[in-house]
Structure formats: C-alpha cells, structure tokens
A and B are shown apart, each in its own frame.
Chain A
Amino acid sequence: MVNRRTLLRAGVAAGALFAAAALVPPAAHSQAKQPIKIGFSMALTGGLAGAGKAALIAMEIWRDDVNKRGGLLGRPVEFVYYDDATAPAKVPPIYSKLLEVDKVDLVVSSYGTNEIAPAMPIVMRKKLVFPSLFGLAVNDEFKYDRYFQIMPAGPEPKTDWSRGFFELALQQKPKPATVAIVAADAEFALNAAAGARANAKKMGFKIVYDKTYPPATTDFTPIVRAIEAAKPDIVYVGSYPPDSVGMVKAANEVGLKAKLFGGGMVGLQFAAIQKNLGPLLNGVVNYDFWVPEPTLNFPGVNEFLAKYQEAAKGKGVDPLGHYLPPYAYAYLQVLEQSVNAVKSLDQAKLAAHMHKATFKTVVGDVKFGRNGEWARSRVLMVQFRDVQKDNLEQFAKPGKRIVLYPNDWKSGDIAYPYKQ
C-alpha cells in the first residue's frame, strides 16, 4: 500500500526533475565573435498571428541586411524568439527565459497591447530599453522612460488616433453636425472609440449613436441599420478584420447615407481583404500608417517591400505587407542606429540616445517624445478611390489610397460625401 503510493510519487518527482533538466540551457559556446542576441516573443499562432508572422518576416529581413553589412559592433546578430500564441500569460515566462536563461543582449516587444504589457514589469525591473511594436497607449500606465513605440500614433495615442477623421469632417461645407460611434468589444477598438468620443466632444459634434458589439457577431446589417436610423452625418468605426469586412459590406447593402464613413477599422489595410472588398471600399476614409503614395516614398521602403513580398510568398501572410512589416523593420532600425551611435549595448546610453535622436528609417523620420510615443502624430487618414474588382496588384501602386491628412503627407483631396 505505502510502497505503491510512494513509488508513484517518486515517479512523479523523477518526471518533474527530468522535465526541469530539459529546461536547462545547453553549455555556453566559444568566446570568439559572440553574436549579439535580440530576444522577443511574437504571436505566431492565435488571433494576432497573421500580423505577427508578417512582422517576423520583416524582422528577419532586417537581421539579414544588418549581417550583410557586418553586423552590429562587428558582431553577427541573432534572434532568439518564441511564440506567445496571442496569450498574455505566456509572455512573462518567455521574457524571463530570454533574459535569464538565453541571456539575450537586447529585447524588443511582441505585437499588440495584450502581448506588450505583460513584459513591461520584467523589462522595467531590469531597466532595459524596450522598442515596442504597435501597442496602444501602453506606456500611459507604466510611464517607463525606456519604452519606445514605433506605431506613429503620436504623443497622445488615444485621441491622436481619430483626430484626423474629425478634423477632415470639420473642413467640409456644410459642416457635419452628428456622429455615430461604433466599436468592437475589444481592447484596441474600445480605446479608439473612447478617443473618438473625446475628439467629437471637443470639436463640437453631437453623438447620436454610441454602442459596441461583441466580436463574435456574424451579421452586421442590423447594426448598420440601427446606425442609419439615428441619421448621423459621419460614422466612426473601431473594428477588427472580420468585423471591418462585415461593416463595409453591410454599409453597402443597407445603403448607409452618412457623409463620412470609416475611421479606425483594422483589416482594411490587409491585402486579402482589400482585394475581396474591392469597389465596396471606394469612398471609405480610414486610418493607415503607410501607403504607396508619392508623398510617402521614404528611402529604402520600396526595396524593403520587394524583399518582403518575395519572402512572404507561400507563407500564408499578407502578400503586399504595407501595414505592419515596414514598422517591424523600422523598430529594429532604430535599435541598430542607436547601438551604432553609442557604440555599446549599455541600456542607459541607448535609451538616452533614442530620446534625443531623429532616426531615418524605411518609414521616414522617427522621433520619440518623452513618453516614448512619437513626438508628432502621423496617423494617416486615407480614402479608397477607383478601386477595381478582384485586383490585388492595384494596391501596390499609388492612386488607390489617397492620403488626406495630415497635411505634410497629403496626396489628394477628399471625395465628399461618401457614396456607395
């Protein structure tokens, strides 16, 4: 009786020890030309995997480019990364492994607020520089002075996100008076909607519809009908890819009579969705971060996109790569240029440099403000125009997504009001 139980327990303990042994890292290798290791977690499975995989491709292109140029500080660059499966609970163990076991020299973030936030306490404790990829206003909570966000949402991300949409509305004559705000019940969309609400109030719009919907919604026609019933002049939507598709289709089917439609719809930047929606997109004014317009022809971006599009073939990710990949490449460029400028891996020196310098990247000039966000917002408002049916290549060229705002990058005038 006692024997069996103790033996079972001993077996369990042995199994646990064996497993623990498997977690122990291999012995350190030779001293000569030690590579610089950059560690991160990335969503390669789960809800954000489409973007995460595309980002990884871009990051690997950067790594290969850097190594071709001789590496960083004369040492080759290596990545150490793990899949966080879009699960926040996986992030702390991954980052502690990267730092304690793999002993990486530099860390960068995963993609998305959900995956960036859990790593913050760890990097803050170790006082590491933390270039971050597309998280909305994460640093508002942590107020960490070594956090740097590559998403160009500007010094006040929550309101800067939608400001362009409302400023465009203000410019029209007659001035629209009422706005409908609708958002998915999920982190980014709700934050975008909150910002929209604040902007609307500040700029004197009357909010006639303000509701959210669960992400699992199948049919958006009733929602659009309810919006239409409130007779808004402009409609601001905060949505994720499947709902963005649903909203655009429903808006066309219902015949939405609003004069301005769009705003914060994620997914309308993705090639597969653009191709499928085709002409339904015409007239929609939505946020974007980079489009192939002549005003955004930054040095290096076209070469990068060519490399990305080649590498992305057959991998089941966005074939054009206009949305996240250039920024994934850029946040590593920022790191690279800082390391080269201070000629060391000292985190304090890197952080100081990142706050001071203006970086020249494939997404243009990058300058960070005090809170780690961009010093000047560059959330573009683009309008889809002349989109043809069933044609993916048209989006690789200028003319289909006209930049309306901000003025510095404007490439055309708005076609107002929004018509189906």
Chain B
Amino acid sequence: MRRVDAVFWGVLAAVFLAGLALTEVMANEYYFNAMYVILQATIMAVAWNILGGFTGYVNFGSAGFFALGAYTSIVLDKALGLPLPFLILGAALMCGLMGLGVGYLTLRLKGVYFAIATLAMAIVLETFVNNWSYVGGARGVYLLTPEKHLWFKSYIQMLFVAMLGLALGCIAISRYLNASRLGRGLAAIRDDEVAAECAGVPTLRLKLVSTTLMGAMMGVAGAPYPFFVTFVDPLSAFNLFVAVNSIAMPMIGGTAHWLGPVIGALLVGTAQEIITVNVSSELNVLLVGVMLVVFITLAPQGIVGLAQKYWKRRRG
C-alpha cells in the first residue's frame, strides 16, 4: 500500500476510534445530537460531489434521494421491523436504484436540463409520498426510538457511531473515486463529454456508477433520519434546505477534490449548529446565503482550491 493510503486509512481509523471513545467518556448528549446533524450533512455533500463535482452533472433533487432513504427506512421498519443496519442497507439499495434511473436520464439530458429533471423527479416523488397513507402521507408518521441500543449508553450514541462509520466509509469511497482511473474518467466527462466519448472513455458506464453511488450514499444519509426526529412528514423530509446545503457545502469546500465536500460540510455545518444554539433566528439562513455568495465570488474553486493555490505559490 502506498504511504499516502496508509496515512489516510490511519487517520480514518483514528477518527472512528476517537468517536467510539467519545461515547464512553462523554455523557453530554448534546454533542452527539449536533454531530449527527453535521455527519448527515457531510454524507450528503460527499455524495452530491461525486456526481456534481467529479462528473459535472448538477443534481437539484438531493432532497428526493434523502427522503426516499428515510421513507424506505420507515416502510421496512413498519412492515418487517428490521434493525437499523438492514434499514440502512435497504435504503442504500432503493436509492441506488433510483440513482441508476437518474443515470440513464443523463443519456438524453445534459447540463441544466438534467438539473431541472432531477428537481422534477424530487417533486413527483414528494407528491407520491404525500398521497401514500401507509407512510402517513402528508399527515406524517411517528417512529418511536426503540428501547435497545446495543452496548451504547443511549440511542443517540448508537446513531452517532453509525453515522460516523457511514460518513467515513463514504469519504473513503469518494477518495478512491477521485484518485483512481475511474475518477480520471469522470473528470474527462466533466471537462468535455463528447471528447471523452471519442477518446474511448465508457461514459455511460461511468455515469451510471457515479449516479448509483450518489443515490446510495444519499439514501444512507436519510435512513437513520426518522429515528433521529421521531416524526417525519414529506414537508420536512423533502425540504429545499437539504438540497441547497448538499450543493453549497461542496461548492464552498471545493468540488474537484474529495476533501472539498468534507471541509465544506464541517465548516458550514458546524457554523450552522453554533449559530442555532447561540445566536439563533434568521441569521442561520442568512449565514448560508452570505457564505455561499462570498465564497463563490471570491473562491470559486472552494477552500481546497485556495489551499492548492497557496501551496503552489509557496513552492515557487
């Protein structure tokens, strides 16, 4: 294994162990709640970036995938009473399938048309869920947190560790895509799809991989959500903020590099959490807006881009 890879896996393992250790030493549940939200945002940002940043197709319908993951979780729980890992798996499968479908959509639609189509799909999905009484329809559905939480001290700790593991896994997949031959193919598609096709890049296959992975990851982000909030209704599951955050965070962090969405999510997510519990009110929404505008205007390549430029200048 290359030294770079070893360092990466080392850091990943260290972070995960730190998370586990945290569940032992910290009784204060607030941090787990806050970190759950940030981790969820991280997975969404990393997922979006696979299609948006690496492959160059903008997905406006992130909320659709997220909500589908959440509702798949609800359905499987109501129908079969499966434990959390199976719910996550089910959500990943379902949303991966939807991602596959979206992938075929890219055959016909490019650029902004594709983005509009994803938005339309999210709205159509939301309308279906609104009318499906098994999951409560527009009335919403309650999901009580179950009593058992393995060896953890509370349910939120278990959710936190699960999300941490999932987030680290998604980051690893994203990094692999970025650095591998697959990733170069995706970058070729992003830069000029026609040229890539002519050069022999299997564009359709790569795009399908990209969309399926994105879909599956977003589904995974949404699967534990019903247990976190206890009450899910289409209005809050499909809301615009989820979609905007999933675009804003990679953009602020930098879309070309796998680290970009991670940095963006940590930065913006943490800022949002801090503002919610300290200053609160409208400023939270204003924050996203201002950060987005400022970063996009001054640093179109994101924070990673800034860092790269800085290092290049340092090297001389």
Q: Does A touch B (CB under 8 Å) in the complex?
A: yes
* Contact residues in B for A91 (Cβ distance below 8 Å): 229
* Contact residues in A for B137 (Cβ distance below 8 Å): 185, 190
A19 x B274 contact (CB < 8 A) = yes
Please judge, given known A-B contacts A16-B270, A88-B236, A114-B140, whether A100 and B28 are in contact too, CB under 8 Å: yes
What is the bound-complex CA distance between A155 and B64, given in angstroms? 37
Q: Which of A9, A92, A101, A117 contacts B156 (CB 8 A)?
A: A92
What is the bound-complex CA distance between A184 and B235, given in angstroms? 12
A101 x B30 contact (CB < 8 A) = yes
How many chain A residues touch B (CB < 8 A): the figure is: 54
**Smallest CB-CB separation from B286: which chain A residue?**
A45
What is the bound-complex CA distance between A97 and B11, given in angstroms? 29
B144 x A92 contact (CB < 8 A) = no
Shortest C-beta distance, B180 to chain A (Å), equals 16
B233 x A187 contact (CB < 8 A) = yes
Shortest C-beta distance, A16 to chain B (Å), equals 6
Please judge, given known A-B contacts A2-B4, A85-B285, whether A97 and B30 are in contact too, CB under 8 Å: yes
Which of A53-106 touch B at CB < 8 Å? 81-83, 85, 87-94, 96-97, 99-101
What is the bound-complex CA distance between A99 and B156, given in angstroms? 15
**Smallest CB-CB separation from B133: which chain A residue?**
A190
Shortest C-beta distance, B245 to chain A (Å), equals 11
B33 x A96 contact (CB < 8 A) = yes
B284 in the interface (beta carbon within 8 A): yes
Shortest C-beta distance, B170 to chain A (Å), equals 16
Which of B27-47 touch A at CB < 8 Å? 27-34, 36-37
> Which of B55-63, B83-91, B95-103, B258-266 has 4 or more CB atoms under 8 Å from chain A?
B258-266
Shortest C-beta distance, B57 to chain A (Å), equals 27
Shortest C-beta distance, B113 to chain A (Å), equals 23
B193 in the interface (beta carbon within 8 A): no
Q: Which of A8, A23, A120 contacts B31 (CB 8 A)?
A: A23
Please judge, given known A-B contacts A89-B225, A114-B236, whether A83 and B144 are in contact too, CB under 8 Å: no
Please judge, given known A-B contacts A96-B156, A185-B138, whether A89 and B266 are in contact too, CB under 8 Å: no
**Smallest CB-CB separation from A10: which chain B residue?**
B11
How many chain B residues touch A (CB < 8 A): the figure is: 58
Q: Which of B28, B140, B239, B311 contacts A101 (CB 8 A)?
A: B28
B7 x A6 contact (CB < 8 A) = yes
* Contact residues in A for B3 (Cβ distance below 8 Å): 2
Q: Which of A82, A92, A191, A215 contacts B33 (CB 8 A)?
A: A92
What is the bound-complex CA distance between A130 and B139, given in angstroms? 23
* Contact residues in A for B259 (Cβ distance below 8 Å): 8-9, 12
* Contact residues in A for B281 (Cβ distance below 8 Å): 44-45, 83
Shortest C-beta distance, A114 to chain B (Å), equals 6
* Contact residues in A for B142 (Cβ distance below 8 Å): 117, 141-142
Most chain-A CB neighbours within 10 Å: which of B138, B259, B285?
A: B138
A94 x B138 contact (CB < 8 A) = no
B138 x A186 contact (CB < 8 A) = yes
**Smallest CB-CB separation from B304: which chain A residue?**
A8
A88 x B231 contact (CB < 8 A) = yes
A22 in the interface (beta carbon within 8 A): yes
A28 in the interface (beta carbon within 8 A): no
A5 x B144 contact (CB < 8 A) = no
* Contact residues in B for A82 (Cβ distance below 8 Å): 276-277, 280
**Smallest CB-CB separation from A141: which chain B residue?**
B142
* Contact residues in A for B144 (Cβ distance below 8 Å): 121, 141-142
B105 in the interface (beta carbon within 8 A): no
Nearest 4 A-B pairs (CB), nearest first?
A117-B231, A185-B138, A93-B33, A83-B280
Chain A residues proximal to chain B, CB less than 8 Å? 1-2, 4-6, 8-9, 11-12, 15-16, 19-20, 22-23, 44-45, 81-83, 85, 87-94, 96-97, 99-101, 113-114, 117-118, 120-122, 125, 141-142, 184-187, 190-191, 194, 212, 214-215
Name 25 interchain pairs, CB-CB below 8 A, sorted by A. Answer: A2-B3, A2-B4, A2-B7, A11-B307, A12-B259, A15-B267, A19-B266, A19-B271, A23-B30, A44-B280, A44-B282, A45-B285, A82-B280, A89-B229, A89-B236, A93-B30, A93-B277, A96-B28, A97-B33, A100-B29, A114-B233, A121-B145, A141-B142, A185-B138, A186-B235
Known: A85-B276, A93-B30. 4 other contacts (CB 8 A): A5-B7, A44-B280, A96-B32, A114-B235
